[in-house]
Structure 1
Amino acid sequence: MLKNKLCLALCCALPIFSGCTVGPNYTKPEISMPVTYKEVQGWKVAQPQDQQTRGAWWEIYQDATLNRLQQQVVLSNQNIAQYVAKYEQAAALVSQAKADQYPSIGATGGATRSEQSQAKPSNSYSAKASLSWELDVWGKLKRTVRENQASAQASAADLANATLSAQTTLAKDYFALRVLDKRIALYDKTIDTYTRYRKVLAAKYKEGVIAKSDLTQAEQSLYSAKSAREDLVWQRAQYEHAIAILIGKMPAEFDLPVSQAALPKPPSIPLTLPSRLLERRPDIASAERSVAAANEAIGIAITGYFPDITLSGSSGYSASSLSNLISAQNLLWSLGASATQTVFDFGANKAKVKQARAAYDASVANYKQTVLEAMQNIEDYLAEGTSLSKEVQHTSQSLAAATETARIIRNQYNAGVIDYTNVASTEATRLSSEQSLLQLQSTQLQNSVALITALGGGWQSSDLPK
């Protein structure tokens, strides 16, 4: 009964000694955000603007293979697995800090047999329970919990950012590979055409109808196209290897078959307001949560100026006979309190507080810089997207003109008006224009992926664990 009273007395002391928290209260740093984006003029914005694909943002491209690969990234990517482990570690620290706010209860039991000179051996038995409780008078433990909670949320945001980064890289690599499929197929078609030209010209040269320079020009075009094709083949292989690593597989275990399906058109991307960007990017959320953790660290350092107060108590039984150990006459108990205070530390704690404040200032600067860089990302991708649309339009017109020119020159050559050098030149120009158009389409798709990522990829700070 006395042991129960001891526990009750210590529990009742909690509200008496936990009403004070020293140190600064946290206020989220203010950042002045623009009303709209500078480069939004001319950008085709999806409606409504306040909507964005949640979670599986890549589904906007409507590519089943890409969807399947993205699912494997979350499950098997080893870089993401590292961030998962780091978050679990941070979450465990929160649980540990919460446990420190409560009493530590222990139990001991013992039996000894001893003998003194010219005395009979004697036995001693004991059973005791002890309790120790550090009172959070100055809010040190409370701030430690909040610091670890903010750090765990920052870790969760880092995990989301790492996941988004891996998903973005996969989408970019995938689209680059699919465009290479198109470009390689174009070279295959061109090589087939050049091969037929060479065969015809070889026959004409044998008959003495044409000069040898026409044949060698055709051979030059053929072998040049073959060389350029091989350059694209190894590039495709590297993208395929990179995708394998992103989904957690050995390159030798992964194969992505060639596809000649039509490339997706760059989607119309919903643009969130700049002010909402603070809630939509995991890297910004991580930086802000780090500021909150640094603020709590200041309060923890300030508590070093105040004494640590601990309540302790024990209750149990001690007797020479085990049979009557648990009895009123063998009851022992104690109750006490202690306060520990550093009298003079030569400015050590003052330095800790100064260090904590400097760390807070650094985290605020990092937070603001992260926001600035996020805004730069979006403005860059908006400007690039607008220019790319115009580039694609102009290159398409250039390709149409080059194709018509090549047709006219071939007809003139067949009529014997000009030599084959003109045919080779116009064919090279047409091939270059078509390859340039495909490369621009690749850049356009990757820019759209980058813009979606810069806008947060559908992530929101409300996704952070509470």
Structure 2
Amino acid sequence: MKRASRLMLALCATVSVAGCAVGPDSTPPKMADKLGYQAQSVRDTAGAAATGLNAPQHFVQGHDVSGTWWEIFGNAQLNALVLQALDNNQTLLGMQDALKAAWEQRRVEGASLYPSVSGQMMVTRNKTSYALSNVPFANQWLYNLHTLQLNVGYVPDLWGGNRRAIQAAGADADVQRFQVEATALTMITNLVESVLQEAAIRAQIDATTTQIETQRHTLGIITAQNRLGDTSQQDIAAQTASVAQLEASLPPLQQQLEQTRHQIAVLVGQSPDAALPVFTLDQFTFPAQLPLTLPSELLNQRPDIRAAQAQIDGAAARVGVAIANRLPNVQLSALPGQVVGKFTEFFTPSFSNWFIGATLTQPIFQGGSLLHAEREARDNLLQANELYKATVLSAVQNVADTLSALQADASALQANQKNFDAATKSLKIAQAQLRLGDVSLSTLLQAQQAQAQARVALVQAQGARFSDSVALFQALGGGWWHRNDLGMSPQEQKKLGKSLVPW
């Protein structure tokens, strides 16, 4: 039995050393030299103030993205919510479990590198016919047999098919890993966006409420003047309609605010009725500087691009598996054991028996299935390369669109600020002239409506600048390489993602 085991191990070691890995490499297409965000150089955004929402934003090209980029907005309550979401968001936790399962599948494929050993114990009661000779057990026609043996098998990885299968499973795990990173990035971005949206909606509600109060005050003045005969019922009706129009715009904003807070609660892993902090725009610091990584660096920072790279790796590995399946292979096997008539005779050398053998297999005809499987794998590799190119271009476009939005919304904010200042000045003039009887009430109503619309547009433009800043951090990958979003320690990650030790 010992000699058979030594011979089996020697054969396994010899064939393993001689093995090679067939199939193409998994290098993604080179695209870094062809990438750019804008035809012109990136410039600072428009701005009319030194600090605050009306200030310009400067892009620091080549600057790394922080793993805690949301802290740039300077709100401790937002920071706490993000950390809570990273710990409690159910979608993210589920993706982390899926990553562990993918790594375990890689280790399942890794079992092919080792011999398989199984034990077998069989007890039989036997009766041999008198017509037969050579009774196998002590010249008895009725006897028992107790068989104890090991089944040892090993398929040497001659062409690297098993290693390619492990590589493919590892690539699938990498895809899952970057899906975890993408899920974390999307969750964080949605949370920050929702918090800033809540603040912007509250600003719109405050602006609308203020306008309603102003319009109601004007309605009271017009009603008092009507008693004195200075205004008509038509003037009262027009002002009443103006007040009602503003009041009608308030419930949709309040509904949007409630829905936004519900979304925030769910993102941090709580029910919609959870107690949450209240956010307003004046609680946030507007970032005066934003990072802007080079397009070539974006290839390593975007989770979707890294996942596309892993898809190429897996597709190339599966081509190797398909090629190896068409080549000859060797299977080694051994059956050491004992056959005794009584349990007390076990482990007695004279009752031992063993078998050792090697089988060479060469596929000859399987209806073309192996050939077409290889062609399918090669077509999948071509597809993975094209999808990688599309993902890269889409990512670069995402950054370019965000830069355009930052530029455009900064200019839009300046225009809205000028419009609001002019509308406010016009309203004050109309109010003063109305008191002196120099203008009609309709002129005042028009000024009030213009100022109300300008204020709401200004608040929306302020919220858009915050939203654009968040979108840029998301487009640049969100700094996941500086965080641990996988839900396990680095030691556990190394054990599951790198090791193939079978325990």
What interval of TM-score do these two structures reach, taking the shorter chain for normalisation? over 0.9
Corresponding residue for residue 167 of structure 1: 188
Match of 2:452 among 409, 417, 431: 431
- Cα distance, 1:267–1:134 mapped onto 2, change above 3 Å: farther
SS of equivalent to 2:175? helix
SS of equivalent to 1:146? helix
Match of 2:95 among 80, 83, 87: 83
Corresponding residue for residue 7 of structure 2: 9
Shift of residue 280 of structure 1?
0.4
Contact 1:395 1:433 in 2 (8 A): yes
Contact 1:402 1:433 in 2 (8 A): yes
Shift of residue 255 of structure 1?
5.0
Match of 2:64 among 47, 52, 58: 52
Match of 2:304 among 255, 262, 283: 283
Contact 1:52 1:270 in 2 (8 A): yes
* Matched AA of 2:122: G
Shift of residue 127 of structure 1?
2.0
Corresponding residue for residue 382 of structure 2: 361
Contact 1:409 1:423 in 2 (8 A): yes
Counterparts of residues 7-406 of structure 1 (less than 5 Å):
7-18=5-16, 19-34=19-34, 36-38=36-38, 40-43=41-44, 49-115=61-127, 121-253=142-274, 255=276, 257=278, 259=280, 261-406=282-427
* Matched AA of 2:376: Q
SS of equivalent to 2:291? coil
- Cα distance, 1:231–1:329 mapped onto 2, change above 3 Å: same
TM-score after normalising by structure 2? 0.86
Q: Deviations over 1:356-387 (max 9, x none)?
A: 01000000000000000011111111111111
SS of equivalent to 1:342? coil
* Matched AA of 1:295: A
* Matched AA of 2:27: T
Whole-angstrom distance in 2 between the partners of 1:40 and 1:380: 14
Root-mean-square deviation over aligned CA pairs = 2.3
TM-score after normalising by structure 1? 0.93
Whole-angstrom distance in 2 between the partners of 1:228 and 1:124: 91
Corresponding residue for residue 448 of structure 1: 469
Contact 1:267 1:448 in 2 (8 A): no
Contact 1:282 1:460 in 2 (8 A): no
Contact 1:109 1:127 in 2 (8 A): yes
* Matched AA of 1:30: K
Whole-angstrom distance in 2 between the partners of 1:99 and 1:453: 39
* Matched AA of 2:37: Y
Shift of residue 70 of structure 1?
1.8
SS of equivalent to 1:72? helix
SS of equivalent to 1:98? helix
SS of equivalent to 1:224? helix
* Matched AA of 1:41: V
Q: Deviations over 1:51-87 (max 9, x none)?
A: 3343222111112232222223323333323422332
Contact 1:278 1:285 in 2 (8 A): yes
- Of residues 250-259 and 429-438 in structure 1, the stretch that sits farther from structure 2 once superposed is 250-259
Contact 2:74 2:284 in 1 (8 A): no
Shift of residue 297 of structure 1?
0.6
- Structure 2: give runs of 5+ residues left out of the alignment: 46-56, 131-139, 487-496, 499-503
- Of residues 162-171 and 237-246 in structure 1, the stretch that sits farther from structure 2 once superposed is 237-246
Shift of residue 309 of structure 1?
1.4
* Matched AA of 1:55: G
Corresponding residue for residue 501 of structure 2: none
- Of residues 391-400 and 251-260 in structure 1, the stretch that sits farther from structure 2 once superposed is 251-260
Contact 2:89 2:268 in 1 (8 A): yes
Contact 1:279 1:460 in 2 (8 A): no
* Matched AA of 2:100: E
Question: Is residue 479 of structure 2 the alignment partner of residue 458 of structure 1?
Answer: yes
- Cα distance, 1:89–1:267 mapped onto 2, change above 3 Å: farther
Q: Deviations over 1:76-134 (max 9, x none)?
A: 33332342233222111110011111000111223334455796753322322221111
SS of equivalent to 2:24? coil
Equivalent residue pairs, number: 464
Contact 1:146 1:293 in 2 (8 A): yes
